[in-house]
Chain A
Amino acid sequence: MTHLNELEAESIYILRETAAQFQRPAILFSGGKDSIVVTHLAYKAFYPAKLPFPLVHIDTGHNFKETIEYRDNLVKRLGADLIVGSVQESIDKGRVKEETGYNASRNALQTTTLLDTIESNKFDACIGGARRDEEKARAKERIFSHRDEFGQWNPKNQRPELWNIFNGKKNQGEHFRIFPISNWTEMDVWQYIYKEKIELPSLYYTHTRKCFYRDGQWLAAEPCIKRRPEEEVVEKQVRCRTIGDITCTGLTLSAAHTIEDIIAETAATRVTERGGRADDKRSETAMEDRKINGYF
């Protein structure tokens, strides 16, 4: 077996365990390549039956339009159910307060909307596309990751995970995050997309876009990011390595047209994909702090 076959088999096993062990599992779909791969794996795991999970999208209201288009097409093609949790709604209801200023982002606000969506839909397992190689706080994350009644992650008291036996048992009000592609690297994901010919949002390929430069990275010049007077808008050939909310998606200067180009570029790149994410730069343990509070 090749490494991709083995990773695929492991992920499919995890997805089937999730469907078997939980009552209301759901896929957290961000529109990023990782959640697209997870959805593809889930499709394979249960074919010819319909996906036993709805896709849940936490919409910050600051998404690229390509992401939303892609999402809607995918849902139609798979005949899947879509549930959208709206950050705008959480703001309107006063559940969270919009950040202001130049670095304002709705990224942190997502956590509240996510937890509200989990609660109102009574989801007991949320499947995510996070990988352990993304960030050091994730290296110790379990595949079946337990969250307490407050949606919090306790890194010091994680359940040991042995062999391929997953323990999804929980008390009332608790839930799980499930990470089927924990053991994949960015390179594995691209190779798999290539091997399986998975269609991606056009944002992943090079395109011309109005951008501006801030803190060592290119960001999209969109109304949802407030620019400083000196921040000049220029047109660049760019693509995304990872897609999130517009305010925290760094753009890479690239001429990659095809998956092969992207793989070649990834092999030669010397910066992590999270290196392009503004939200991780806030402190050395930014990711860990957010995860403890219930972030993805």
Chain B
Amino acid sequence: MANGYLDMQLLRFTTAGSVDDGKSTLIGRLLYDSKSIFEDQLEAVEQASKSRGNEDVNLALLTDGLKAEREQGITIDVAYRYFATPKRKFIIADTPGHIQYTRNMVTGASTADLAIILIDARHGVMEQTIRHSYIATLLGISRIVVCVNKMDLVDFSKDVFDKIIADYKEMSKHLDIPDTDFIPISAKNGDNVVNKSDNTAWYTGKPLLEYLETVEIKKSENQDFRMAVQYVVRPISDKFADFRGYAGRIAQGFLHIGDKIKVLPSGTVSTVKGIFSGAQELSEAQEGESVNITLNDDIDISRGDFLVSDNTTLPKVDNQFVINICWFNSSPMQIRKKYIVRHATQEVQGLFTAIDFKVDISTQEKIHDVNELQLNDIAQVQLKTANPLVFESYKQNKVLGSLIFVDPFSFETVGAGMII
């Protein structure tokens, strides 16, 4: 019994939809039907539903976290939800869909493997649908599943469903959309959420939950080793007097004892002596693992440096970048103003030298001659840093290609960038 749960995989996904498309109901249903809702939570929701004059238990209330949001009846921040089936554990980044919450969607999408996009079957593909797909694509989500919801209100019509698929494909033509699948559902009644529905005999695909349990999770295609050094482990004890471990989380590829390693930006080379996970010594490690590495040579390595496979395809080292950026703060992004740039485990000063163009988030058209970015703006900009960074394009590797910007006075996180 216990063992059955020990080899599950983890899938992180984000959900986006316009207000009232049924996002909260869908999440509530996934949690409810997978038995992730406990009786006391349900009781609390029943009480809250009653006190607000709702007759049925409103599953959407399960996911509305904070007071202010419950009062306004909308989700405004990113909220994380958890559920599991015997096959997988799921982490949902639940984000609001309105344009004024673009930054929340960007945040939620940044850690997701997959995006669920909801469409109200009665309204079909809307501007927002494409906007949400654009954000998912921009953040490098490798798979989108479009759930056409409220099928009960259109008599479970295959024609309506097919037309939505055709419209979606047509309207998203200009985006570099990843693999996309479509599922007709009724979040409220449960059709095609956990079980395949008799109301959609024409639908041959999987119900949503089975889809989520089986969809393939993509890893980086490139298998070269990449790891940013987070922390240098140096015990003060006689037993480990000469121990010098480089701790970090592997951003890409595999590592074996004896592998040749290059340190960037310095360019020094060495070979792997030991790979540790806690006290356990490993012979190899792979992408996603947090390890502690010892080398055969005594070289100067500190936090912020990268350890990479010593071969021909090295990451780049430079201090000028073209990036896609999303602005997160109410004080506008200004050209030539200094910001703190955080990249992997490195921190440097940086400034924007030019805004190439801003993107109209609704139509995805480019707007030129812009000299400031406002909250929620998405743009392509030129960035220069005081010291060089070890990087790759965001498309190649999310860890090496992502940045955040921090205001040097308030220390708030004011923007997020993806290196092109």
Contacts and interface: CB of A to CB of B under 8 A. Distances in A.
Contact of B88 (A3, A44, A195, A270): A3
A255 to B, nearest CB: 16
B406 A169 contact: yes
B340 interface: yes
Interface stretch (B105-113, B125-133, B182-190): B105-113
B411 A183 contact: no
Given A2-B9, A163-B402, A185-B82, A49 B77 contact: no
Contacts of B53: none
Contacts of B201: none
Contacts of B276: 47
A48 B240 contact: yes
A3 B83 CA distance: 12
Nearest to A155: B66
Interface string B1-38: 11001111110000000000000000000000000001
Given A140-B79, A167-B413, A16 B247 contact: yes
Interface string B73-107: 00001111110100011010000000000011011
B229 to A, nearest CB: 10
B303 A20 contact: yes
B375 to A, nearest CB: 11
A45 B247 contact: yes
Contacts of B68: 155-156
A215 to B, nearest CB: 12
A161 interface: yes
A284 B82 CA distance: 21
A12 B249 CA distance: 9
Contacts of B7: 2
A44 B235 contact: no
Given A44-B277, A47-B276, A195-B6, A183 B88 contact: no
A169 B80 CA distance: 24
B40 A183 contact: no
B230 interface: yes
Contacts of A3: 8-10, 88-89
A9 B10 CA distance: 13
Contacts of B79: 139-140
B288 interface: yes
Contact of A19 (B231, B237, B277): B231
Contact of A165 (B236, B248, B290, B402): B402
Kindly state the interface size class of chain B when it binds its partner: 35 or more
B68 to A, nearest CB: 7
Interface in A262-276: 263-264, 267, 269-272, 274-275
Contact of A259 (B2, B38, B47): B2
Question: Which size bracket describes the interface of A in this complex?
Answer: 35 or more
A76 interface: no
Given A20-B230, A140-B78, A191-B5, A288 B67 contact: yes
A171 interface: yes
Nearest to A158: B77
Given A163-B402, A185-B82, A191 B233 contact: no
Nearest to B394: A163
Contacts of B48: 284
B135 to A, nearest CB: 13
A271 B402 contact: no
Given A2-B6, A159-B412, A167-B406, A272 B106 contact: no
Contact of A7 (B10, B107, B328): B10
User: Closest 5 A-B residue pairs measured CB to CB?
Assistant: A44-B278, A275-B40, A169-B411, A12-B290, A3-B10
Interface of B: 1-2, 5-10, 38-41, 44, 47-48, 62-68, 77-82, 84, 88-89, 91, 103-104, 106-107, 110-111, 230-231, 233-237, 239-240, 243, 245, 247-249, 276-279, 286, 288-290, 292, 303, 328, 340, 342-345, 398-399, 402-404, 406, 411-413, 416
6 contacts: A17-B345, A47-B292, A50-B235, A50-B236, A165-B403, A263-B1
Given A137-B66, A269-B38, 16 more contacts: A1-B9, A3-B9, A3-B10, A12-B249, A46-B231, A160-B107, A160-B328, A162-B106, A165-B402, A167-B413, A191-B5, A263-B1, A267-B1, A270-B39, A271-B39, A284-B47
